[in-house]
Amino acid sequence: MIDNTENYFDDDALESVDRFETMIKNNKPCYFDVHEFENLVDHYLENHKLAKASKASDLAMQQHPSSISLQLKHAQVLIGRGEEIKALTILKKLKGIESTNKNIYILIGNIYNILKKPQNAKKQFDIALSLCYDDKEDLLFRIAVSFEQLGLYELALPYFIEVHKLNNQDPEILFEIAYCYEKLQKDKESIEAYKAYLELDPFSDNAWYNLGILYNRNNQSLNSIEAYDFCIAINEKHSKAYFNKANALALCEKFEEAIKSYIEYLDFDDDHASTYSYIGECFEKLEEYDQAMIYYENAIKEDEKFADPWFGMGLILLYQDKIDECLIYLSEAKRLEDKNPDYWFALGSAYSRMPEAQKAVQCFREAINLDPYDPTYAITLAEFYHQNDKKEAAIDVLLESLGCCPDDVQLQNNLAAYYMLASDSNAAEHYLRKAMANPENKLEDIFIQFPELEDNNKFKQIIKANQ
Report pLDDT for 8. 47
Report pLDDT for 293. 98
For residue 85, tell me if it sits in a domain. Answer: yes
For residue 154, tell me if it sits in a domain. Answer: no
Q: Are 329 and 311 in contact (CB under 8 A)?
A: yes
Distances (CA, A) of 256 to 90, 253, 289, 319, 458: 67, 9, 14, 21, 49
| Structural domain harbouring 106 | 1-133
For residue 82, tell me if it sits in a domain. Answer: yes
Report pLDDT for 439. 83
User: Residue 230's CB: how many other CB atoms inside 10 A?
Assistant: 20
The domain that contains 53 carries what CATH number?
1.25.40.10
For residue 355, tell me if it sits in a domain. Answer: no
For residue 331, tell me if it sits in a domain. Answer: no
For residue 323, tell me if it sits in a domain. Answer: no
Indicate the number of domains in the chain. 1
Q: Are 397 and 419 in contact (CB under 8 A)?
A: no
**CA separation for the pair 172, 117 (Å, rounded):** 27
DSSP letter assigned to residue 452: G
With a CB cutoff of 8 Å and minimum separation 6, the contacts of 254 are: none
At 337 the three-state DSSP class reads coil
Q: Are 311 and 346 in contact (CB under 8 A)?
A: yes
Phi, psi (rounded to 5 degrees) for 151? 75, 15
**CA separation for the pair 349, 69 (Å, rounded):** 76
Q: Are 421 and 401 in contact (CB under 8 A)?
A: no
In 3-state terms the chain splits into helix, strand, coil percentages (rounded to 5) of 75, 0, 25
Closest CA to 56 of 91, 88, 13: 13
For residue 252, tell me if it sits in a domain. Answer: no
Block means of pLDDT (10 residues each) for the chain, length 467 residues?
56 80 86 91 90 91 91 92 93 91 94 95 96 90 95 97 94 96 96 96 96 96 97 96 96 97 90 94 97 97 97 97 96 97 97 92 97 96 94 95 94 94 92 88 85 87 80
Closest CA to 60 of 80, 49, 75: 75
Give residue 447's Cα distance to chain centre.
42
Q: Are 79 and 121 in contact (CB under 8 A)?
A: no
The model's pTM is 0.78
For residue 350, tell me if it sits in a domain. Answer: no
